[in-house]
Every structure is written in C-alpha cells, then in structure tokens.
A and B are shown apart, each in its own frame.
Chain A
Amino acid sequence: MTDDHVYLSLAEASPEPEGEGRWAYGTGFADPLLGVDTAVPPGLDGADLAAYCLMLGDDALVLSQRLIEWCTRAPELEEEVALANLGLDLLGQARQLLTRAGQADGSGRTEDDLAYWREEHEFRNVRLVEAPNGDFAYSIARLLLFSTVRGALYEALAGHADPVLAAVAARGVKELAYHREYATAWTLRLGDGTPYSAERMQAGLDAVWPLLEELLTAHPVELRVGVDPATLREPVLRSLAAVLAEAGLAVPDVPGLATVGGRAGRDGVHSEAMGLLLAELQVLARAHPGATW
C-alpha cells in the first residue's frame, strides 16, 4: 500500500499554521482584535461604548443563531452553503463586538462570558433578529431589512473614534454588502417568480416590516456613542423601496411594533421567542460551569 503517507501525515497531530486560513477564525482563535489598539480612546465613555457594542454584537449573535437553524433545512444545497456563510460572518462580528464590550466596560468578560452567562434581560438585540425563522420568504425578508440597515450603519461606523469598532465595521461593510446582495437576489426571484412565491414573499415582508421601526429608532446610547439610526432611515427606505419595486412587491404600509412601557429589545425587553432561543444557545455551557471547551 503505497499511499499510506498521505493519511499518515494528516494523522500526525502537528500544529498546522497553513491551515489557519481555512477556518473562519483559525483554530487558535484567542484574540479576535489582534493588532488593533484596544485601549478606549480618550473622550469615549467606556460604559457607553460597551453598551453599544453589546447592541450590535447581540444583533449579530442572535441573527446568526437563527441562520444556523436553517442548516439541513434549506431549499437547495447552494442555499445551505450561502446561509451558513452568512451565519459565520455574523458570528464572527458578534465575537469581535462582544469581546470589545468586555474590554470597554473594564469587566474583562470574554465573548463566551457574555454570550452564555447573561440573562435574557441583559441582551440588547432588537426584536427583529430574534423572531423565529418562519418560511424561506420570511427569513429572506428579515435578512433584506437587517442587511440593508446594518450595511449602511457599518459604512457610517467605519470612521468611528474607537479603532476596534471602526475595524469591525470596515470589515463588516463588505460582508453585509454580500448579505444584502443575497437577500436582494432572492427577493427578486420570489417576488417575480411564480404567483405563489410572490404571495409568500409579500406575506413575509408584511409580517417582518413592523419590526423594522425598532432598528431605525435611536436609543440614548446610540445617540451618545454611535450613529443615530434616524440618519439611516431615508437611504434605507429608498433602497428597500427600489428592490421591492423591481420585484413587483408592495412596500408594506404597517405601523411599527409597539414597545412594552416604552421599552423594547435595546432595553432588554424581548419577545417570547428570545427565552427559547437563549435556552438552546446556552444550555450546554451552563450545564458545565467553569469548563473549557
């Protein structure tokens, strides 16, 4: 047997530096922000910066969890690959943003401390990202709204005073551009595909649209340390309207989802779906406190 060596070389448990690039964050991922100065710049409030990073990081983490739920359930293999890809991008952003939050607030909490050991009311994501996946049309509609808003936000944040947030945003701009392209391509296919697909796409948009408002409404932390989402409203709505017009779909004329006593996701007041999502995400880590994985 002459081709033993191929496998034998694989079986040697040697560290393989050339392999690092194959993985989303390498196999030895320790510091996602390597090479970026992690001191909070003077003039920025660490607590506010941390709160802002949590908002953006939680959005990315929770939507990534929803995208992951599509795995082995997608309508076609190409979509398996693409949806996993989008989930990986968002998971990567979440890891960087949560790590930054743990640095900026001085607590030294890691990405995993923040993802696995916070309670539901401590999560700061908008309700849009936690809503259950629904059908493919609903998931695409949600992705279209999220990627349009988040892409515009990252563009604005690429010049942020915090070099870490600026670096995450600069990288995220390219990723979100792809997410938006993917969501747009499917909105067009479903909207201008069969009469049945058009109906489902419209239903998905109608159902998800009330959740857009929260993403475009400023929280005080955003006004102090981030970008006022109100400045994104006009370009975002224009861009969405253009996509829907090309797809032959109507821009839903529906009011935003009400808050609870003035509070919503950014204040830690979520929907019923959030508790179940976190129960699943956190269950194993919490069953083994102190364990390393």
Chain B
Amino acid sequence: MVTAEVAERPGASPEEAFEAVIAAEQRIEPRDWMPDAYRATLVRQIAQHAHSEIIGMQPEGNWLTRAPSLRRKAILLAKAQDEAGHGLYLYAAAETLGVDRAELTEKLISGRQKYSSIFNYPTLTFADVGVIGWLVDGAAICNQVPLCRCSYGPYARAMVRICKEESFHQRQGYELLMTLMRGTEAQRRMVQDAVDRWWWPSLMMFGPSDAASPNTARSMAWRIKRHTNDELRQRFVDMTVPQAEHLGVTLPDPGMSWNEERGSWDFGEPDWSELNRVIQGQGPCNAQRVDRRRAAHEEGAWVREAATAYAEKRRAEAGASAGTDASTRTHAATATNAAAEPDAGTKTEQENGK
C-alpha cells in the first residue's frame, strides 16, 4: 500500500497522516481517513464527471442512426459504448467515497447535480460529431490528463484508462474532419459551421477565469486539481491553433494573435454571461438532455426491479439448498448483472472505511 509508510508513523493524528500523504504526492485510498470537505469535493467532482459521460452520449447519439457510412456508424457506436463504460468506472470511483450510483442518478435527474454544460448545445450536422471529438474531447483531455495524478487513488486510476480512450476519440474526430475537408464544398462548409458553433463553448469547458473560481485554490492544495482553469485553457488554445491551420478551418476569434513574449496565443474572452445562462438551465438542450435521462431511468425502473427480485430469489434458493447444485448458469448470469447487485465489493470497502 502506497500510503503505509507515511500513514503509519507512530503518534501521527489522522489529519497529519492525510496531510503527509498529500505532501508526499502519494495516494489517498478509500479506507484512509480524509477530511469531510475533501470527500465532498471529490464526490461532487467525480459525480459531475460521471454524469457528463452519460449525458455526453446524447449529442453524438443523435447521429448514430443517421451516420453516413457503416464505418462511421461503427466508430460512433464504439465511442458511445466507451462513454457508457467511462460513466460506469466513474460511478464506481464515487461509490468508494460512500455514495451510490442510484443516489447520484437521482441527483442528476432532479437537477441537483450538474454535468458539463457543453452537452447542452445541439449537434446539428454530422460535422458536429467530428468537432466534438476534436475540440470537446481535446479540451476534456487537457482537463483530465492531470487528474491521472490526482491524490485520490480510485479517481486517478479511472482517469488513466479514460484518458487513453479519450485520445482515440479525439483522433477519430480529427480524422473525420480531415476527410470532410478533403470532400465536397458542402462538407467543408459543414465543418466550418460546426467549428464556429463549438469553439467558444469548448473554451468554456475549462470553467470560469481563475479570478472567478473560488474552489480552485483548495482543490490545488489537496492535489485534486493541478493547474488553474486559465492555465489549462491557454494550453488548449496553443495546441488547437496549429491543428486548425492544418485542417484549414478558421477559429471564430478575430482577436487571436501570437504573443512572442509569452510564447503563447492571445485570445478573446468567452461570453461568460452565456455560460452562466446555460449553467442556470437556460441552454438550448438542458431540459431535453435531463428529460431523456430521466425517461430512460424511469421507464427502466420495472426492469431493474425485476433483476433485483430475480437475484433475491436465487440467493434465497442458494441459501435453502446450500451445497446442492442450484443452477450455476443462472447464477453466473445474475452475477454479471450489476443492476441487480450494485458493486457489492465496493460497498464492503465503504463500510470498512467508515
């Protein structure tokens, strides 16, 4: 265990042990003592991240049934599947902190927890699929790569895998855009139009400017966050400008210019009042996204109840006839159904941790 040598120093209080682990750049694990506010910050951040993966399936999913070639359809479907998988790892990481997925889902569909506001914008053409891969996944990667070194172990480990997969998505998106830019005039127009609509919302994905971001300092002290919003935004812009040139599209920011002295691009200020409106629920798709998620959850309730009832019957049978050969096949089927048995293993860990 990574934390052992620091945490087990005799005479250290739990607070001191925690601070020592953080200072030594080691990982906090679910059973370790942690301040309530650290736990709460992580729950909020991981849940929001998990919700973003799941809600984020909707804008791209909008094009799944209409994808214009079978290859693009397969790629997009594989991506949607990955996103559902990311949601699963992240909910599992949140569960190590003593919350459960059902509770977090309730908070999402009742509007008490947020997801990334970028997904409250509509996907209007197939080029949006490519631009989401390039810009939105690109911005997400900028935000997420540092999280692979986050002080909370389960979150950091989930992020390693997620970042790897996101990088494929980003490359796929860029490859789609390259193909469209080599295509017809209509396809090139489609790409430019999508870039025009997604550029500013992508910049807003890094959150408000540092001056207006109250939580940044504490999250950085706890090594949950490693760079400020403005640092990450700048990094994203510096990386994206040459990619846009290579692609042959114009970024919709007339004020953008190379700053020799800083060795970085100067760029314009996003319209924060628009972001605030989207955060407050007035975005073009807020209601639609949450409604869809709520409908899926509510319409699926009878299915989840059936799975739970089925699993309970099998457990009761196994208890009644312990040692006899109670159908191993159906048991195997039940064990794979996490709907019926939400992360039994993780739950034990939580209980031990409390």
Contacts and interface: CB of A to CB of B under 8 A. Distances in A.
B337 A185 contact: yes
A111 to B, nearest CB: 5
A291 B183 contact: yes
A217 B149 CA distance: 60
B333 A72 contact: no
Interface string A32-53: 0000000000000000000000
A288 B333 CA distance: 45
Contact of B339 (A75, A94, A196, A197): A75
Contacts of A95: 70-71, 74
Given A69-B65, A192-B313, A84 B74 contact: no
A27 B75 contact: yes
B92 to A, nearest CB: 10
Interface stretch (B1-9, B76-84, B273-281): B76-84
Contacts of A77: 54, 84, 87-88, 91, 101
B122 interface: no
Contacts of B239: 7-8, 11
Given A189-B310, A192-B310, A76 B339 contact: yes
Contact of A76 (B180, B304, B310): B304
B235 A4 contact: yes
B77 A84 contact: yes
A84 B306 contact: no
Q: Is the interface of B mostly helix, strand, loop or mixed?
A: helix
A84 B171 contact: no
B141 interface: yes
B57 A91 contact: no
Interface residues on A, range: 35 or more
Interface in B40-80: 54, 57-58, 61, 64-75, 77-78, 80
Contacts of B259: none
Interface string B212-230: 0000000000000011000
A280 B66 contact: yes
B282 interface: no
A288 B70 contact: no
Given A78-B338, A188-B333, A112 B302 contact: no
A245 interface: no
A22 interface: yes
B115 interface: no
Contacts of A94: 70
7 contacts: A8-B239, A75-B296, A77-B84, A81-B84, A88-B78, A189-B340, A293-B72
